[in-house]
Amino acid sequence: MNTNRVVESCLAVALFVGYLGLWRLKRWRDIRRHGIDPEVLARASTPMQRFFASLVRFITILVVAVLSLHSFAPETWVPLVRLATLDSPIVDWVGFVVGVVGLGLCGIAQATMGSSWRVGIDHDRETKLVTRGLYQWIRNPTYLGLHLLNLGLWLIWPTTLVAAYAVLFFVVMDIQVRCEEEFLMGVHGEEFTAYRSRTRRYFPWFRF
C-alpha cells in the first residue's frame, strides 16, 4: 500500500471514529446531566422502529466492511476502483474537510436539541419541539450532517461501493426522518404543522 492509500485510510477511519465519539459523548452527557438515555432505538417498542434498529446495526457492520475493504482489499476489485478524476490527495483532503463539516453540523444540532435529542422515536417521554438555531432553517440538520459525512467519505474513496453505501444510508435515514416527522405531528399537532410549513427537510431553499 502506497503512502496516498495509507493517508486515505487514516482520513476515513478518523471520520468514523469522530462519528462514534460524537454520539457516545452526547449520550454520556445526557445520561449524566438529565438522567435520560437518548438511545431509545435499542429498546424500540414498535415493529417499524425495531426494523430500523436492525437496519442501523447492518449499516454499522457495512461501514466497518467498507473501511476494511478499501484499506486492505485489492483495488482491482471492481467496486473498489476509484473514479480517476477524483483520485488525488487534494480531493482526499477536501473530502475530509466536508466530513468534518458534517460532524460539526451534527454536533451543533445535538447541542441545540439538548435533552430533547433522541436516537430513535421516544414513545415514553414527550420532548419539546426545538425550532431555534439550525432548526429555524431546516428540520433535520443532524441527518444533513450525516449525509455530508458520507459525501466526504466518497470523495476520499470515490468508488461504487462507497456510493452504494451512501445511497442505502440516505434511503434508510430518509424513511426514518419521515417516521419521526409523522410522530412529531401526532405529538405537537398544529405547532409542528406551522413549523413544517416554514422550514425544509434538509436544505433551506429546497422543498425536498
pLDDT digits over 10-33, tens only? 999 999 999 999 999 999 998 998
- pTM for this prediction: 0.93
Give, in order, the Cα–Cα distances in Å from 99 to each of 19, 26, 95, 205: 10, 19, 6, 22
The whole-angstrom separation of Cα 20 and Cα 18 is: 6
Q: What is the pLDDT of residue 208?
A: 57
- Which among 165, 157, 144 is positioned nearest to 101, based on CA atoms? 144
Q: What is the pLDDT of residue 123?
A: 83
Give, in order, the Cα–Cα distances in Å from 120 to each of 42, 125, 134: 8, 12, 20
The per-residue pLDDT for range 36-74, each reduced to its tens digit, is 888 888 888 788 888 999 999 999 999 999 999 999 998
Arithmetic mean of pLDDT, 146-155: 98
Q: What is the pLDDT of residue 35?
A: 87
Backbone φ and ψ for 118, nearest 5 degrees, come out as: -140, 150
| 3-198: CATH number | 1.20.120.1630
Confidence of residue 125 (pLDDT cuts 50, 70, 90): confident
Please count the residues of the chain: 208
Give, in order, the Cα–Cα distances in Å from 85 to each of 3, 41, 81, 158, 174: 19, 40, 12, 9, 29
Q: What is the pLDDT of residue 159?
A: 97
Q: What is the pLDDT of residue 124?
A: 82
Cell numbers at 60, concatenated: 454499522
Gyration radius from the chain CA atoms = 18
- Which among 114, 104, 96 is positioned nearest to 146, based on CA atoms? 104
Is 92 a residue whose pLDDT tops 90? yes
Is 1 a residue whose pLDDT tops 70? no
Confidence of residue 75 (pLDDT cuts 50, 70, 90): confident
Is 101 a residue whose pLDDT tops 90? yes
- Mean pLDDT rounded to a whole number for the chain: 92
